[in-house]
Amino acid sequence: MNNKKGFTLIELLVVIAIIAIIATLAVVALQSARANARDAKRVADVKQITTALALHMNAAGVYPDTVTAGGMIRYPDNASGTVYMEKVPAPPTPSDGDCIASTSYVYVPVLNGDSENVAYTLTYCLGGTTGDLTAGIHTATPSGMQ
């Protein structure tokens, strides 16, 4: 009687192929989850920035002249001023979807006739649908996120 125990080459190849397929599916799912996480962070960043801008407006009566990644939002703009945002975040990288050309948050103050910053636009880009926001370029204003 021949009682050899072990696997045939075909059995091993089938098992390796199944493991390769499962690993490929896991990598694809992980990449999708990472892209969704980056978009969620972009939305959260913009919400934090708009909150800091609203606090600045309440204290100063105007919005700041500039908001740049890595900078502060505070009033008055001196060492003893109240800090509303210690460090303005930069969008997470890499860019996703059609956001290759738009890799930063772009703040533009809106002036009234007296050259006071009475509003702003904050442009940002999402690589995919996040909540009720679709993929693409969006703008946040004092009235909300669009």
Residue 128, in any domain of the structure: yes
What's at 111, amino acid-wise?
L
Asked if 96 and 128 count as a contact pair (C-beta separation under 8 A), the reply is: yes
Q: Which domain holds residue 112?
A: 38-145
pTM above 0.85, yes or no: no
Length, in residues, of the chain: 146
Q: Provide the domain count of the chain.
A: 1
Predicted local distance difference test score (pLDDT) of residue 72: 92
Q: 103 pLDDT exceeds 80?
A: no
Residue 77, in any domain of the structure: yes
105: which 2 tokens? 């948050």
Residue 114, in any domain of the structure: yes
Q: pLDDT band at residue 102, thresholds of 50, 70 and 90?
A: low
Residue 6, in any domain of the structure: no
The SS3 call for residue 124 is strand
Q: What is the pLDDT of residues 17-54, one digit of tens each?
A: 999 999 999 998 898 899 899 999 999 999 999 999 99
Residue 95, in any domain of the structure: yes
Predicted local distance difference test score (pLDDT) of residue 64: 93
Percent of the chain with pLDDT over 90: 66
Q: Please report, for residues 2, 8, 16, 42, 47, the alpha-carbon distance to residue 5 in angstroms, rounded to integers and kept in the order given.
A: 9, 10, 19, 57, 63
Asked if 117 and 64 count as a contact pair (C-beta separation under 8 A), the reply is: yes
Predicted local distance difference test score (pLDDT) of residue 132: 92
Residue 24, in any domain of the structure: no
Q: What is the pLDDT of residues 67-98, one digit of tens each?
A: 999 999 999 877 888 999 999 999 998 888 77
Residue 12, in any domain of the structure: no
